Structure 1
Amino acid sequence: MPSKEDLYQTFVQKAELVSAKVTGIANEDEAIKYVINLCGEKEACQLLISGCEADLSDKAEALCETKQKKVIAAPGLKAELYEKLAAQAEKAGFECIDKGMRDHLAGVDIGFTFAEYGIADTGTLMLDCPGEELRLATMVSEFHVCVLPKSKIKANTYAVEKLMLTRMKKTPDYLAFITGASRTADIERVLALGVHGPLELHILILED
């Protein structure tokens, strides 16, 4: 049976092969700091609308200016952790939300989530996403930052099978398996990242 450290090393290797960025953290406060720094460094995603340079009505101009701030979406966090994140986001001039994802047409810069388990042999994250807000945070954010406790890294899908069955007894239920950033290829096998999901996946391995 592989050791905890062996599973960790395998997970990191496999995750990085599919363009995930893996970083170790000591506590949740470091995760918040990472999210705030990443949001500050990236360019704000914008709603791409043609014709905004023209002479427009007030309503049309308002649509062109849909997004005023960078947005961090963090649905499903513990209340105390969300409050810390929201406070740091406000200090940095970012908007932090835990609901209302559909109201942000111009896009969400960072989706911040926690994984249930990691699968070492494929570098995959497993998230329990019973609510729409959490599912959207993992799919429509430009960058997805996910915290994975080191102790929750399992060898393969067989190792999480029983755990999955327990989750699937709940209704409604939605288990997401995420391997790397969004990858899409056309019939000519030209690969593009971030077309149907996050452009980047950042995995923070939490020592526990």
Structure 2
Amino acid sequence: MSENNTPQSDHLADRFTEKARAVSAIVEPVVDLDQAMAYCLDLCGRRGACRIKISGCDEALSQPADTLCDLKQEKIVAAPGLTQDQFASLAARCREQGMTCIRSGMREHLSGVDIGFTVADFGIAETGTLVINCPDEELRLATMLSEYHVCVLRRSTIVEDAFAADRHLLKFMRKTPDYTAFITGASRTADIERVLALGVHGPLELHILLLED
């Protein structure tokens, strides 16, 4: 047990992990943000580049339209919620591995973003839910449009249930306009025959990195 952990915090982390994994999230421990960044880049390196092809691209097109249909070749990591220093560190690591790291302009990458790298404000143990206050559109898009979402969650910020989250949410709502995302597991949907599909309306995988603090 880490010296910063208590039996209560361990209980909350264990319960959060159990509930998150039950809804297809991948949960791993990390000791610091550097290890979280390394995990993110390793995941990106092991996956093929996200490539979304626009409808009609197989037809005879004008040069401008044909250019729009070109499939992206590079891998893109979006990390709009990091501090300036944190982003600079991640961007440098991405360049070393031939990847592109962005913190703005999500709408300009319609051909796909491989990984959204974010830091949660807190987690809810009862449901394995991440809570991210994201009034900025770039952060919202990073959590919704990336092929894989990697989110860092500090163990000390996990609360028991939604009632215990009340004080955090009240703080968020004092700022307007506001937007707070509750994320539980990977994106999922089902058809009328209840056939489950992952990643249709959002990230295919959700990776939660529990940070010791």
TM-score band w.r.t. shorter chain: over 0.9
Which amino acid letter does the alignment assign opposite residue 9 of structure 2? K
Match of 1:3 among 5, 8, 28: 8
Correspondence 1:140 to 2:145: yes
Does 1:123 find its partner at 2:132?
Answer: no
2:35 aligns with one of 30, 33, 44: 30
Question: What whole-Å deviation, never above 9, does each CA across 1:31-87 have from its counterpart, x for those lacking one?
Answer: 110111111111111122356556644323312225231110000101111001001
1:165 matched to 2:170 = yes
Question: Which residue of structure 2 aligns with residue 111 of structure 1?
Answer: 116
Q: Is the 8 A contact 2:49 2:73 kept in 1?
A: no
1:204 aligned residue (180, 202, 209): 209
TM-score normalised by the chain length of structure 2: 0.93
Match of 2:4 in 1: none
Alignment partners' CA distance in 1, 2:123 and 2:130: 5
Kept after mapping to 1: 8 A contact 2:120/2:152 = yes
Q: Distance in 1 between matches of 2:122 and 2:59?
A: 50
Work out the number of aligned pairs and report it: 207
In the TM superposition, structure 1's runs of 4+ consecutive aligned residues that sit over 6 Å from their partners are none
Deviations 1:170-192 (A, max 9, x none): 01111100000001012211111
Where structure 2 has 5 or more consecutive residues not aligned to the other structure, the ranges are 1-6
* Alignment equivalent of 2:80, drawn from 60, 75, 83: 75
- Aligned residue number for residue 90 of structure 1: 95
Q: Say if 1:74 and 1:111, in contact at 8 Å, map to a contact too.
A: yes
Distance 1:129 1:163 in 2: 13
2:3 corresponds in structure 1 to: none
Q: TM-score, normalised by structure 1?
A: 0.95
Residue aligning to 1:49: 54
